A and B are shown apart, each in its own frame.
Chain A
Amino acid sequence: MRWPALQGMALGLFVSATSASAHTGTGLAGGFASGFEHPLSGWDHLLAMIAVGLWGAFLGRPLIWALPITFPLMMVVGAIAGMFEFPMPPVEFGVALSVLSLGSCIALAYRAPTWAAITIVAIFALFHGYAHGRELPSAADPIGYSTGFVLATGMLHLAGVAIGLLANHRRGVIAIRAAGAAIAATGFIFVRAAL
């Protein structure tokens, strides 16, 4: 092989080289990033969390802030239950049911009393947390991972709240109820799959 060809190959290898991947799973970066990504990577978690924010904004004070606080706190309780392997009803079904129920509440414009809304969200949060706790995490920093998934959950609630603020406009209410119907329809598919 000619010298310029070798030089070209060496340059190509240098440019295309990536870092060694033997230990990318450990440490804050891997744990936090994968934890943050986890709720965003599954439609069931993502839709349920956006629905919590949407419903909270739709119901107004105090639930606009009480629901985004209740969900992460109860999700943590569920995650601890998952880590300690407490028995729970079928988790996948619970997660799927949460998407269907929360979407239906928005679509039907169900103005639940404060205690009832908090109870509904708290129960569903247990299922989501349990699922996270059981998967926590493979060869990655568990503290960074858990911090990431709690923060991502909170951000999704805020996204839902931001969309839900459209409820202040008349056409916005229709759009939000339509979004709720779409979430409920997706939830129905999840429930069918979980059964």
Chain B
Amino acid sequence: MRDLLLATAMLGGGVGLSTGCSRIRAAQTCSVALASFVIATSITRADISDRILVASWILIACSAALCWLPRDRAPHALRMLLSMACGAVAGGFNHRLLSTAGLVFAASLLSLTLGAVILAAKKWILPMRIAAGWLVAIATLNVSLTIIPVTPGYLPDHLE
């Protein structure tokens, strides 16, 4: 459950960074992510499988990596598609509206978008690229953690 909350926050963060790095249509991209989050939350009934968690880390890595492309070089359609997918996956983790996960997603998405837009306006793109690098690193590591059954130092708790 805690993993899902972390992934949800990072999905919002990834979309926020990639949206802020683009020069145009930040509000539109944000709205698409939030709308797909709400729709996915409304229609999801089943528990989320591990595969969706892997997909979420891959989406986080892809959306953060968009920050490394020269500004305005990433196709807007791709940015929108990734935002929609991130919102949908985060919504899939969520079971009801106005939950903690919903607030975490919205807060990380909006705060990072706003922060990134302000930094981009001042032409301080480098901090965002560094933060995007960290997100890619975390997402890559977490994808591998979902593949490996037992890490070398990992002793499962007796409740697991």
Contact = CB atoms under 8 A, between A and B. Distances in A.
Is chain B a partner of chain A in the same complex?
A: yes
B133 A138 contact: no
Given A79-B141, A141-B3, A154 B153 contact: no
A28 B2 CA distance: 6
A76 interface: yes
A75 B126 contact: no
Interface residues of B, number: 28
Contacts of A83: 144-145, 148, 151-152
A82 B152 contact: yes
Interface stretch (A97-105, A143-151, A179-187): A143-151
B2 to A, nearest CB: 4
Contact of A75 (B129, B137, B156): B137
A23 B137 contact: no
Interface in B105-160: 126, 129-131, 133-134, 136-138, 140-142, 144-145, 148, 151-157, 159-160
A39 interface: no
Contacts of B152: 82-83, 85, 133-136
Interface of A: 23, 25-29, 31-32, 64-65, 68-69, 72-73, 75-76, 79-80, 82-85, 133-139, 141-144, 146-147, 150-151, 154, 157-158
